[in-house]
Structure 1
Amino acid sequence: MPDNRMRARAERAREHRNGRRKRRLTLANLAERLGVSTATISLALRDSPLVAQATRERVKEAATEAGYIYNRSAAALRTARSNVVGVAVHDILNPYFASIFRALEDALGENDQIVFICNHQDDIDRQRSFVQSLLQHRADGVVLCPSVGTQADEINRLVEAGLPVALICRDVEGARAPVVRGDDRKGTRMAVRHLIAMGHRRIAFLGGRRQTSTGRDRLEGWRDALAEAGVDPRSQLDVPELMTREDGFAMAPILMQRAPRPSAVMCFNDMIARGLVEGLRRHGLEAGRDIAVVGYDDALDAATSTPSLTTVNSGGPQIGERAAEVILSLIAARDEETAPAMERTIIAPHLVARESTAHACPADGDGIENEEE
């Protein structure tokens, strides 16, 4: 028998003879002693903000007194943890998603999670390939702004396979995964009511992929506000599928050729709005003076552009922070083998009125007023 095995056996025999043999202290022992779950113990020993500071200190103190040493390598083997979370969105160049990603990455980084990102560009095959790679690399979870074409059964199969999944910004009906998103219908309704209160009656709607919940909800908010004011949405210009700054720029001459020309434009996002403002200026019109332009998302340059952009703030950083909390909770629930919470978090929007909107000229509306929401 090798010398090291002989020495180990002799040591165990001496401990037994001397009555000094001790039971190995485990995570479960600590949890039982403190009256908390093993997941709470594990998160506390990793300094996770999901556990209250007082509880973290109590757990660490008890572990120190008991001589418990947290073994990260063993924990990874037990839980198959990789400390990797995938994040997939459709347009990482959009400053709004950059704000979400920054908050999400900061929060996950505080919990020792590395972020892998995918810009799926609303290509369902790119999204599927990314998720498959995450599964192959045993990622801890995925935060998904689902691509056009994503079906509920695809998400549900991932959940059933044990991969924690959280959805952001877009809903997928029937998906058994928590969702963190803004109230898009309410936000657009607020913005259009603002335009109506300023006397506008010809209000175009530009953009949005109508196969997504976000595209449908923002369109419905526009329709809601027009109908409330007695304006038939079918009589207004509605152009779907626009998403980018280039799309907005290309719409400027089309709007100018329309008779009668809209006096105001509700854009699906800030990128379309900024492109439209630039295109209008190229043709001698100024947003806020000659035509009102409203964006959505309150992206980074909305306040500093010229003119500053009236827009709807839909809480990008809050969505990122909350999504991080949700995915970490799902990972902890998987480790503990408990049922995860299937909650929906809706971030309330608010309107930010700036220079790109102004009261309509007398010929553009009848000056009706409608209280903002």
Structure 2
Amino acid sequence: MMERIKPNYYDRFTCIADKCTFTCCQEWKIAVDNETNRKWKKKYPPQEVKVQRKNLSAYTTKKDGGRVIRLDEEHKCPFLSENRLCRLVSAYGDSVLSETCTVFPREVHRFETHEEEVLMPCCPAVIDLWAEEENVVFPEVPENGRNLRTMIREKMMEMFRNKEQSIEETLLESFYILLELYQAEQEDTLSEERIENYFSREAVKELKTAILAIDLPFLDTMDECNELLQDLAVNYQKEGLYQDYLTKILPLAEQLSERYDADEMEQKGQDFAKQWEKYRKLLAVFMENELFSDLLMPDGDLESMVIQMQWIAMEYTMIRHSLFLKWMQDGCRDLAYETLRDYLVLITRMTGYEEDDIYEYLENSFDELVWEWGYLSLIVGK
């Protein structure tokens, strides 16, 4: 039997159902697998469902090459009750659910030598787990599954455990190293020794000194993140999704795209940075989880690792910028944990693209698929 590895908090996850602050039964593409759909053709909807159809399958529709539950006019699952519980589970039990509803937010990546189980951060209960866990530990890859790519991933994850520097500094350093190793692979000079050298304490210290000497103006970072957020939100606005959250930040984003007082905004940026730093430990776990779950795909090479790292960095900066806007809208008061959690869930859902879709988005939005370090430093800042 193939070995499965998972983080130490994985088995503690349970769905909090009606207590969830950001339900996955609303504004969410809920996939219905073929086997479930066949079963649903023979089952009738519970009487409590508002719109009665001939069977459960009739509540689904084809989208993006698959079948999903057709949401109602409020973008909710038709089987979601007023008290935020699933009417299907109440009527038929858990066995009636599709694979997506049964598994979410769990995800399994199947490599040739082992399987990796992860929890996705687009569920608020997962964020709560991280906040409660004193020491989050991610597993090591089995010996027969270790290679140069898993070695790079482990080294990068380890960098985010450094409590003495910000997430931003670690992002800048780790992406620089990854680009260098990608270049080495293209030149057929990548080796275990070379990886060790790049991640050595001396090399990282030298890189850190060089990066700290570079001027990365806050306002330039803010302007670029503002444009990225508005671009990312376009389709969700068109479909009327996540409006409870987006309408609280996008008007300010549009306003800042036109004009602002530079000195005032610089000061607000400094004040927000102090609020952001309070959650450094939680954000470091988030980054480590994203690297463990998304950086290395089962059939991935170093180029795909670079692409995934770009997406993770963009995701992080969009979370930060969304919360910067929300913090300003709330009068620059303390950034509450619940606010951070909900916007973290929001952005990870909005960026929860399949690998092919990530490539398509990047190809359509940027001049080059693989970014130069300078562009990532622009959106990450310091």
Scaled by the length of structure 1, the TM-score of the pair is: 0.24
Scaled by the length of structure 2, the TM-score of the pair is: 0.24
- Identify the structure with bigger relative contact order (alpha carbons < 8 Å, sequence gap 6+): 2
Point out the structure with max Rg over C-alpha: 1
Higher helix share: 2
